Structures are given as C-alpha cells and as structure tokens.
C-alpha cells in the first residue's frame, strides 16, 4: 500500500469470511416478536415481511458479488482533522472535466450512488465520500463530527485531490453538509444540486439569500419524527440493539424505505432492487454503523442554529438546482417560496433515495444542471 504526498491511501473492501458466517448464524437465531395487532405497516415493519427478507439475506443474498461490484470503483482513505475519511473517486477521461461531490444522507453510504457513478463519470470527475460514522469513515473517535465539521473536511478533501472548483449533489442530511460547504467556500462551489421527495420527507428550505434551513414536511412532522428524535437524543441506547441484532438493523432501515420511497411502491424492495437494499444494510451491519450513524444525527442536531462564518464570496451567487421526485404540489412552495432555485425538475416517480430508485433520471438531471457550470 502506498501513500501519496497528501496522505491518500488506496482502499479495498475485504470482509473476513468469519464476519459473514456470524451474520448468517445470528439471523438464524433471531428471536422474532409477535405480529402487531391488525397487521400492516401502521405500527412498524410487519413480522412476516421482515422474516422473509431476513431469510433471503441469510440464504440468497451474495455479499461477495456485491463486494466485487463496489471494489470495481477506485476507493481511498485519508485522515482529515484526526478522522479517517473513506471515499470513492472515479475520474473522467477528460482531465479538465468538472468534479462533482456526491454527499449521501441517513441511512446512507457511497453505495447509495453505485448506479449513478458510472454514468456521471463519463462527463465528470466523481468523488463520493463516506460521512463520519458512515461507510468506512469509522470509527469516529471524538464528539463534534456533525454537519459543520464534516463540510470543512470535505472542502479539505477536494483541495487534496486538486480540485479548486467543483459541483455538489446531496440529499437528506447530506444537503445540510452541502449547503454548509457553499457557505464556507462559495468561490469553490460551481453549483449545488439537491434531490428531494414529498411532504413525507425532511425538506431543505431555501431563503431569499440562497442559504438553506431545514423543516419537516407535513406528513413527516405528524408521523415520521420518531427515528430523528431517538437518534438526536439517545443514540448510544439505540445502538445496543442495532449493533447486536442484524434483524433489528434490517428493520430499522427497511422501515425508512417503506416510508420514504416512491409511494406507488407497495414494499421497500418494489421501490429499489432488493440486493441493492441489502448491500446497504450489510454495510451497516458489518461496520456497526447503526450506532455511529445515530451519533452523526445527534451531532447534526447539535449543529442546528450554530453559526457558520461564511468564506470569501457570496453563497447566494452559487446556482441551486432541485430534482423533485414523486412530484407533490405542496413541495415547491414549501422549499423555494421566493424562487431562488435556478433549476427545478419534477418527476412523477421515485422518492427520497433517488439514486437507488431512479438512477437514470437523477444522473440525467445532474448532468443537465451542471452542463454549463464550470
């Protein structure tokens, strides 16, 4: 293994077979709870659905095939501010191409973007970091790794890679990181592209000066705040169950795919490829990311309202593009009441996890938005 002058090291995923055997053995010993009265999803993930999905995870899902798929993308690690950062880096054939950073949310990782990295790298240099507490950017060794500090680290990462100017795409909690990057280094950000879904989602809200706050969508505020409240107040307590039971980790993520994906999909794996979903869950299980990502949400909550000192330039001058999936008439007036966004595309399908649900639509919209921004 070699180290560059910036301390960037090649990285390859190589999960010990003993860890995979342990996963299967734990799944076989799951202590299944009784079915909720009335069935359905109103009280959480139905036992019958989760049991069938867990059995496929144990006996049908092939981690090694998907590990190889992930390893086909060049990956690296580097240390920034005392924290190990993992990232994928797919270069375009044109050395002068614009670079784009893809920033995931919760529950996410660079694997979310697996199906858009290839198409985007035909035109752009693509950098996909794991936020602290996610992917292979673990473990986090100290407090304070929330939105603001993560944004500072990603700016440093792009500088180490030699990119003085670049675009950013993000969703979910990654949108907060991306917007903070725009505040800290507006002169470096060619454009900010965000994907969002319906009023079931946590929405970024664009102010007239182009900055962004966060508010829950209508349905999310009424019935979807439970996971955020637990993680933002008691992440360690939650972590014991997620770190010890793969069935608990599977349910924790599957529920979000039921609630946040295309509302036309009856089940989570109707909205996304089942193996892609399980690759995400497997990464969370193997890395113990249930608790570490919950700590990120806790730190994110601490960052709310914390001031950020703007860098040189005007954040409001950075173009903003929005791709809205599962078009909902209530979303645009909530997100962009004063018409700040320079680009707004609505799609009648897809949802919160757009890169997994509708990768071709998302990649096309990103290409269109950044086509004239350099």
pLDDT tier at 270 (50, 70, 90 boundaries)?
very high
Confidence at residue 211, expressed as pLDDT on a 0 to 100 scale: 65
- Give the DSSP letter of residue 189: E
Distance separating alpha carbons of residues 159 and 162, to the nearest angstrom: 5
pLDDT at residue 321 in the model: 93
Residue range 122-137: average pLDDT?
Answer: 96
**CA-based nearest residue to 214, from 173, 178, 181, 182:** 173
Give the pLDDT band (50/70/90) at residue 3. very low
Checking if the pLDDT of 243 tops 80, the result is: yes
Instruction: List domains and CATH numbers for the chain.
Output: 72-245+287-370 (3.40.50.1820)
Q: What is the pLDDT averaged over residues 320-344?
A: 86
Q: Where are the alpha helices (DSSP H) in the chain?
A: 17-28, 47-59, 63-71, 114-121, 147-160, 173-184, 218-223, 226-233, 235-244, 246-260, 268-271, 274-287, 289-303, 331-335, 354-357, 359-370
- In which band, very low, low, confident or very high, does the pLDDT at 1 lie, cut at 50, 70 and 90? very low
Mean pLDDT, all residues of the chain: 90
Residue range 40-57, pLDDT digits in tens: 898 899 999 999 999 999
pLDDT tens digit string along 195-230? 987 656 666 677 776 666 666 655 665 566 677 788
DSSP, collapsed to helix, strand or coil, labels residue 2 as: coil
pTM for the predicted model, two decimal places: 0.93
The pLDDT-based confidence of 10 (bands split at 50, 70, 90) is very high
pLDDT tens digits, residue range 76-129? 999 999 999 999 999 999 999 999 999 999 999 999 999 999 999 999 999 999
DSSP-H helix ranges across 234-288: 235-244, 246-260, 268-271, 274-287
Radius of gyration of the chain (CA): 20
pLDDT(260) > 70 = yes
Of the candidates 308, 291, 279, which has an alpha carbon nearest to the alpha carbon of residue 111?
279
Q: Which residue has the higher pLDDT, 237 or 226?
A: 237
Give the integer Cα–Cα distance in Å for 275 and 1: 31
């Amino acid at each position: 293994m070699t180290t560059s002058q910036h301390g960037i090291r090649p990285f390859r995923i190589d999960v010990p077979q003993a860890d995979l055997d342990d996963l299967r053995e734990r799944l076989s010993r799951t202590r299944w709870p009784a079915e909720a009265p009335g069935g359905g999803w109103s009280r959480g993930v139905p036992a019958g659905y989760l049991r069938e999905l867990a059995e496929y995870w144990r006996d049908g899902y092939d981690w090694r095939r998907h590990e190889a798929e992930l390893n086909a993308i060049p990956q690296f690690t580097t240390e920034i501010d005392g924290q190990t950062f993992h990232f994928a880096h797919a270069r375009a054939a044109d050395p002068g191409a614009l670079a784009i950073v893809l920033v995931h949310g919760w529950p996410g990782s660079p694997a979310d973007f697996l199906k858009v990295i290839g198409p985007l790298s035909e035109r752009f240099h693509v950098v996909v970091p794991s936020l602290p507490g996610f992917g292979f950017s673990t473990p986090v060794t100290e407090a304070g790794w929330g939105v603001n500090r993560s944004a500072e680290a990603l700016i440093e990462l792009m500088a180490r890679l030699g990119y003085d100017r670049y675009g950013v795409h993000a969703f979910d909690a990654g949108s907060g990181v991306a917007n903070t990057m725009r505040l800290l280094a507006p002169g470096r950000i060619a454009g900010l592209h965000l994907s969002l879904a319906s009023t079931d989602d946590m929405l970024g809200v664009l102010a007239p000066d182009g900055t962004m706050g966060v508010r829950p969508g209508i349905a999310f505020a009424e019935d979807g705040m439970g996971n955020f409240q637990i993680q933002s107040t008691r992440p360690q307590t939650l972590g014991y169950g997620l770190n010890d039971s793969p069935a608990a980790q599977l349910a924790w993520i599957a529920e979000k795919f039921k609630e946040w994906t295309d509302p036309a999909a009856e089940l989570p794996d109707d909205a996304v490829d089942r193996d892609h979903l399980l690759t995400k869950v497997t990464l969370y299980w193997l890395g113990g990311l249930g608790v570490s990502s919950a700590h990120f949400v806790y730190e994110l909550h601490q960052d709310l309202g914390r001031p950020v000192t703007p860098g040189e330039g005007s954040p409001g001058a950075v173009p903003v593009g929005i791709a809205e999936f599962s078009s909902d008439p209530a979303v645009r007036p909530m997100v962009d009441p004063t018409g700040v966004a320079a680009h707004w595309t609505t799609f009648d399908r897809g949802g919160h996890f757009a890169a997994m649900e509708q990768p071709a639509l998302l990649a096309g919209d990103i290409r269109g938005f950044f086509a004239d921004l350099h």
